[in-house]
Chain A
Amino acid sequence: MWERVTEIVRKEFRQTLREPRMRGILIGPPLLQMIVFGFAVNLDVTQVRLGWMDLDRSVESQEIRQRFVSNRTFVITAEAGSEREAQDLLDRGTVQGVVRIAPGFGADARGSRQTEIQVLLDGANSNTAAIVGNYAAAVISTRNKELLMAQQTRKLVGRTQNGPILLRIPSVQPERRVWFNPELKSRNYFVPGIIVNIITLVTLMLTALSIVREKEIGTMEQIMVTPIRPIELMLGKTIPFAIIGFLQMNLVTLIALTIFRVPLNGSYFLLAGASCLFLLSTLGAGLFMSTISDTQQQAMMATFFFFQPAFMLSGFAFPLRNMPQVVQWVTYLNPLRYFMEIVRGVFLKGSGLDVLWSQMVMLGVFGVTILFLSAQRFHKRLD
């Protein structure tokens, strides 16, 4: 039996590497995803374009401006002289926020009266807005503290009989310590996830395509009149792509480590083991896809569109945690979700089996189930 399987495996490798379409799938998507998610997509807010509307033009307002500028996050790219100009800047998207200082600001500050600064944010991209808002608030808060201290000193010096009191002011200072991705690079978040995407796409599509191609050109019939048994055909058709998928996983990992410098804090073997379990699911799905498609084109479209939701609901780009509860329950049926957690856990958190055992189990369960059911269906179709 194994000779026959080996024959098929060998044939598959040859065909896959020869056909430009298949080769394309092997190289294209991984490359594309890595370029896009490794380089292009960047959720980090590093440079905020700010508009400055200073209607006061006092020493004090200049101070505030100085504070913003010296914070490397903000870049003042435009000045506004009026409400309309400010609105226009925001409407056009020229700036992401406008700091607005009303006339009388300096006078109020000098006279120790409370005054205010307005920060208008472009809420269009809500996450950027949240980050920008928090940054701006922090800058002003720091300034506040300084001003308050100065005020105190001015007001109180000489008040007591015992001499000037350096008034201390209570302040609560947050101190952040970031674990696992200390620079908070979104690249570290995305790139490990690419492994999941790539393995899924490649193994799924190639498995489905290779089987459907035989159906299309008629060689499937040819094969069926030989002494081959369905199980051998299945093995022959899935083993090559399991190997390819595994190799791709390694390739992407290598690139992630070297070019993108994503840390691999956990065990490679855990990653490899999880990949193998995950492959069971994707290969099974590929088998299934091949039973519902008659032409290669159908297979491509079916895999692509059928799996878009699976990709979206895997936690790759959109955190699962914030989805509506119902949707979260649905994601429990998605093997990609578990593999994504494992991959991110292994790369960034250095998590081991003790933390990830439940995901591994789920992967195993799903893998075996999907593969088994698909194999049944495949078997039936052949007879």
Chain B
Amino acid sequence: MKWRRFRAIFHKEALHIMRDWRSLMMALAVPLVLLLLFGYALTLDVDRILTVIYDQDQTPQSRELVERFRGSRYFQIVPGPANYRTIVKHIDDSSALLGIVIPNDFAHRVESAQEAKVQLLLDGSDSNTASIAVGYAEALILAHSAELREQMLQRRGQGKLKMPVDVRIRVLYNNELKSKNFIVPGLIAVILMIIAALLTSLTIAREWENGTMEQLLSTPVRPTELLLGKLAAYFVLGMADMVISLIVGVGIFGVPLRGSTLLLIVSSALFLFGALCWGILLSTITRSQLLAYQLSLLSSFLPAFLLSGFIYSIDNMPFVIQQFTRIVPARYFVAILQGVFMKGTGLEVLWMQMLFLVMYGALVFTIAVRKMRQKMA
């Protein structure tokens, strides 16, 4: 392999990239937009749940419970008259997610040490938010219940009796439970996939369509040189994007990076390499830019977005699809990303995923070279 020819191809690709506004847009604008969306705008966090509280009892005891809701960051009480009708109306027009009804015998039951029921009426259409919302509401009510018991025990002179079992819940890795802390790291995988798969899928097909491929084939350039030359140009772009994402994610959006930056860079490089080879492979075998683009969208970008565990956790997917995600390289990279950013884990935990990335890269590279040789012969 001649260094000189590789350099010529690399230089040419770099010029192409810089002059094609479409490529640049994809390479710079799209990642930034995605980062902005996921770092700032889009969130799966649940708080300030719009709640209507219908206190039928209106006693100090019921008001105590209402105050607990009012004081919680998870609930935002909707002002205005509250009764069954207004609850229904608010839930119907989505101006409230939750309706709480405290029955008129609440204080009586509490004082006479019986079970008092509190109704939680829930809009189930957004099931995810609803599940979490009702969980918080129930937890709050149970906590209040526990406190009431303690108070009663104190008053009856059995002050020594405390709650038998106290639950301490510790959330590891993401104790503010911010969804962006786990989404933004995984986003890096998606961004790299965009660069790698979508951009490179066009490059060779474009040369075929323009006729310049034929010209290239008549020159002494070798398949490996062509592959690596094109790859190198996009690799630089991809790594630049990765660094930008890192800086924006950590610096601007405050996503914690607890693990090794080196591991991050190495795994990104590996992933990028494999994804680039895949894009070039698609471009080589399809010869049509439009087709290559669609195929890479389908085989690289979409799986990375939907099936890599970057937003939607693989745990909850049906078994068949879970197995399918095993061949999605982004899955392993996202695991590494989330591990390095949030958990601060290192190679001893993530070695298997790294191994997969290495194998994937090697495999796709080999196939890409072979296909290119075939097409060039």
Whether A and B are associated in the same complex: the answer reads yes
Question: Taking beta carbons and an 8 Å cutoff, which residues of A are in contact with B?
Answer: 21, 24, 28, 32, 36, 39-47, 49, 64, 88, 90-93, 96, 109, 112, 114-131, 133-138, 140-141, 143-144, 147-148, 151-152, 155, 167-186, 188-189, 296-298, 300-301, 304-305, 308-309, 312-313, 317-319, 321-324, 327, 341, 344-345, 348-349, 351, 355
CB distance from B248 to the nearest CB of A (A): 17
CB distance from B338 to the nearest CB of A (A): 6
What are 19 sample pairs from A and B whose C-beta atoms fall under 8 A apart? A21-B290, A39-B321, A96-B315, A109-B165, A116-B166, A121-B169, A121-B171, A126-B177, A130-B46, A136-B169, A140-B167, A144-B165, A173-B145, A177-B120, A179-B124, A186-B127, A189-B125, A297-B289, A318-B42
Determine whether B239 belongs to the interface, using a CB cutoff of 8 Å to chain A: no
Which of B117, B121, B313, B318 meets A125, CB within 8 Å? B313
B36 nearest in chain A by CB position: A309
Decide if A178 touches B30 in the complex (CB within 8 Å). Answer: no
Decide if B119 touches A42 in the complex (CB within 8 Å). Answer: no
Query: Contacts of A122 on B, CB cut-off 8 Å?
Result: 172-173
The distance in angstroms between the C-alpha atoms of A151 and B302, with both chains bound, is 57
The distance in angstroms between the C-alpha atoms of A129 and B177, with both chains bound, is 8
Determine whether B210 belongs to the interface, using a CB cutoff of 8 Å to chain A: no
What 10 A-B pairs are tightest by C-beta distance, nearest first? A134-B135, A181-B124, A123-B174, A126-B177, A168-B113, A172-B145, A123-B171, A147-B164, A114-B162, A42-B316
CB distance from A68 to the nearest CB of B (A): 12
Which of B118, B174, B318 meets A175, CB within 8 Å? B118
Decide if A318 touches B127 in the complex (CB within 8 Å). Answer: no
CB contact under 8 A between A167 and B113, given known A189-B125, A344-B125, A355-B92 = yes
Give the contact stretch, choosing among B215-223, B228-236, B270-278, B342-350.
Answer: B342-350
Within 8 A of A (CB), among B39-66: 40-48, 50, 65
Within 8 A of A (CB), among B122-153: 122-132, 134-139, 141-142, 144-146, 148-149, 152
Q: Mark B329-344, 1 if CB is under 8 A from A, else 0.
A: 0000001001100110
Query: Contacts of B116 on A, CB cut-off 8 Å?
Result: 170-173
Query: Contacts of A169 on B, CB cut-off 8 Å?
Result: 113, 149, 152
Number of interface residues, chain B, beta carbon within 8 A: 106
The distance in angstroms between the C-alpha atoms of A128 and B136, with both chains bound, is 13
Decide if A128 touches B306 in the complex (CB within 8 Å). Answer: no
CB contact under 8 A between A93 and B335, given known A129-B174, A172-B145 = yes
Decide if B173 touches A124 in the complex (CB within 8 Å). Answer: yes
A351 nearest in chain B by CB position: B92
Decide if B318 touches A42 in the complex (CB within 8 Å). Answer: yes
Which of B126, B306, B349 meets A41, CB within 8 Å? B306
CB distance from B108 to the nearest CB of A (A): 11
Which of B37, B46, B129, B146 meets A312, CB within 8 Å? B37
Of residues A128, A175, A296, A300, which shows the largest number of chain B Cβ atoms within 10 Å of its Cβ? A175
The distance in angstroms between the C-alpha atoms of A185 and B146, with both chains bound, is 31
Determine whether B293 belongs to the interface, using a CB cutoff of 8 Å to chain A: yes
Query: Contacts of B149 on A, CB cut-off 8 Å?
Result: 148, 169-171
The distance in angstroms between the C-alpha atoms of A266 and B123, with both chains bound, is 16
Decide if A175 touches B171 in the complex (CB within 8 Å). Answer: no
Of residues B47, B129, B165, B171, which shows the largest number of chain A Cβ atoms within 10 Å of its Cβ? B165
B145 nearest in chain A by CB position: A172
The distance in angstroms between the C-alpha atoms of A128 and B114, with both chains bound, is 33
Beyond the given A120-B170, A137-B142, please list 15 additional residue pairs across the A-B interface where CB-CB is below 8 A: A42-B317, A114-B164, A116-B168, A119-B167, A119-B168, A122-B173, A128-B315, A170-B116, A170-B145, A171-B116, A172-B116, A173-B141, A175-B117, A179-B122, A312-B41
